[in-house]
Amino acid sequence: MAELPLSSDRCCSLLTALLPIAGWLPKYDLQKLRQDAVAGLTVGLMVIPQGLAYAHVAELPVQYGLYSAFMGPFVYCLLGTSKDASLGPTAIMSLLTASYNAAPGVTSKSAVYAVLMCFACGIVQFLLGAMRLGVIVNFISLPVVSGFTTSAAVTIAWSQVKSLLGLRGISNWLPLSVYEICRDIGRTKVWDLTLGLSCMALLLVLMKIQRDISKASRIDATEDGDVHLGVRSSRAFLAIVCSGRNALIVACASLVAFSLKSVDLGDKLTLTQKVDSRLPPFRPPAFQLMNGTQVVRDFWQIVGDIGIGFAVVPFIGLVESIAIARVFARSGNYRIDASQELIAIGLSNLAGSFVSSYPVTGSFTRTAINYQSGVRTPAGGIFTGTLVLLALALLGDLFQFIPQAALAAVIIVAVLQMTEFRMLRRLWFVSKTDLLEWLVTFLVSLAAGIQYGILCGMGLSFAFLLYRYTRPGLETSTQSSGLAVVTVKSAVRFPAADGLELSLVAAAQPSEGRVRHVCADLSLATGIDFAVVEALKTVRERLRLLSARLFVVARQPEVRQILEQAGLSVFESVQAAESGLSASAGASEVTPLIT
């Protein structure tokens, strides 16, 4: 009976770990409900126009942006460990979807590839989380992530210039699109350009007002001043307007388009095509691309078409989401479980694929709005998802009046905030290798595609990491007794074994016709492996042929144990090794060279 409370505690801990909602739901109250509702509805006003715009980036009908925006928040509410994270369509995942959402020989765009990628993402991410492999995000360096994010922002922003100018038939490959846009600049539609630039200007003004309001509120809170009720009310109203600026701008632009169409000027603006206004059916994703009753591409052909995308897309998704969750967890002074986040994201994508979603992940801009709106728990996502469903059910017929230039303006303003060019100056002064990683990732992403840029950046980062492992930091000095000391300043593993062996032998090389005894000082080494032990044994035998000796110094218990089990004599310090040298029979400061 004494074991029962402990067993009960373990069951509760296990339930909370597998279903994080069980940890915060018992403490939920009306105050938290009110704050979650405000934050969730605010994010919902933002995700509706963003979803429509990002579907445009993904080269899908605009309703797919909303299909991708409601299931994630519902699932994440049950399984997520970040109170702030907001899942849904993002700029980067939309661009990746466009990269792989293509069927050779098929001219019309189909969502089959996109939805199947969402299904695959869910499986891969869930399995990684179930195997507790959330730590893999720690192996991607910050410069690589920054270069990738910046290149994606530039690529996405430039991809919307054609919509801003009202041009058609422009390539999606950035280098070629630059040429084609310059070639066709004379065919610019003035109405599209004017509307797009006006929308961008208004968005930037509203962003500036929102920053000023936030700054003023922080100052008032710091000074503990008595702010007039009218001032507080005005600020609150402006804050709501600014938070929903994307929805406001898209609505106003749609009203302009509707007005023009009512007076037979509808062709002046390029509008979104008529979309299916129904809620998506709940069904498994299609595993074949069909044209009526004819199979155009079967499952294995689709797998071959997407190829490495089945690895790249889920990997980028988990990196983006966990990185965002960690940033806001630090700001909110709480912790997240990276592996549980993978499970939550994976099941969000898996469930989303049954409602025609394309791959989703955490959104930085919407997570920031969620945080600033005072969200208290992941339940805020319920209000976000519900608002998206209402928009799909009630407003679907109005989406056809949304000008593409307005969506382009929303995307450009959103993604340009993702650029991190300012990091270049810091990298220049801190680390040239990190700067090279940033530049390679950025430039390859622009030239060949972001999926190849991130792979090249990661490859270069791992190459530099392995190179550092082959150079653990060795320093050679000579004691007054003539003993040559090679000090290892960090952990030394198999990539550095050959380098250590060469350094020890070089320290014993003849100098003026004599050979020196050598001491391998591993007192600072926090770990070694089998290859290092074998290298030390090889050095010992080579020195023995020269009538010289190898002394090994180690202080860490684990290192000493490994060395002693390998049959090597280990000293506590260099001074102890010198004493051992002096006490040796026939020991001397230098030993005659054996020829």
Mean pLDDT for the stretch of residues 115-127: 95
- Which helix (H) or strand (E) segment holds residue 299: the answer is helix 299-306
220 band by pLDDT with thresholds 50, 70 and 90? low
Q: What is the CA radius of gyration of the chain?
A: 31
For tokens 């990298």, name the residue. 427
Cα(383)–Cα(507) distance, rounded to whole angstroms?
A: 70
19, two tokens: 């279903």
Residue 594, pLDDT above cutoff 50: no
588 band by pLDDT with thresholds 50, 70 and 90? very low
Cα(57)–Cα(50) distance, rounded to whole angstroms?
A: 10
Mean pLDDT for the stretch of residues 224-253: 79
pLDDT digits (tens, 9 = 90+) for 151-180: 988 998 998 899 999 888 888 788 899 999
Whether the Cβ atoms of residue 297 and residue 103 lie closer than 8 Å to each other: yes
Residue 464, pLDDT above cutoff 70: yes
Residue 587, pLDDT above cutoff 50: no
β partners of residue 531: none
- Closest by CA to 87, choosing from 23, 44, 52, 25, is 44
Whether the Cβ atoms of residue 164 and residue 404 lie closer than 8 Å to each other: no
Mean pLDDT for the stretch of residues 184-204: 94
For the CA atoms of 46, 51, 54, 60, the dihedral, rounded to the nearest 10 degrees, stands at -170
pLDDT attached to residue 226: 60
Q: Does the predicted model carry a pTM greater than 0.95?
A: no
pLDDT attached to residue 134: 83
pLDDT attached to residue 417: 83
Whether the Cβ atoms of residue 516 and residue 484 lie closer than 8 Å to each other: yes
Whether the Cβ atoms of residue 338 and residue 319 lie closer than 8 Å to each other: no
Cα(177)–Cα(174) distance, rounded to whole angstroms?
A: 5
225 band by pLDDT with thresholds 50, 70 and 90? low
- Other Cβ atoms less than 10 A from the Cβ of 30: the count is 7
pLDDT attached to residue 290: 81
Q: Which ranges constitute the DSSP H helices of 336-379?
A: 338-352, 364-372
pLDDT digits (tens, 9 = 90+) for 380-391: 999 999 999 999
Share of the chain above pLDDT 70, in %: 91
Mean pLDDT for the stretch of residues 315-343: 87
| Average pLDDT over the chain, rounded to an integer | 86
pLDDT attached to residue 227: 62
pLDDT attached to residue 213: 85
Mean pLDDT for the stretch of residues 392-408: 86
pLDDT digits (tens, 9 = 90+) for 32-86: 998 899 889 988 888 988 898 899 889 898 899 999 999 999 999 999 999 999 9
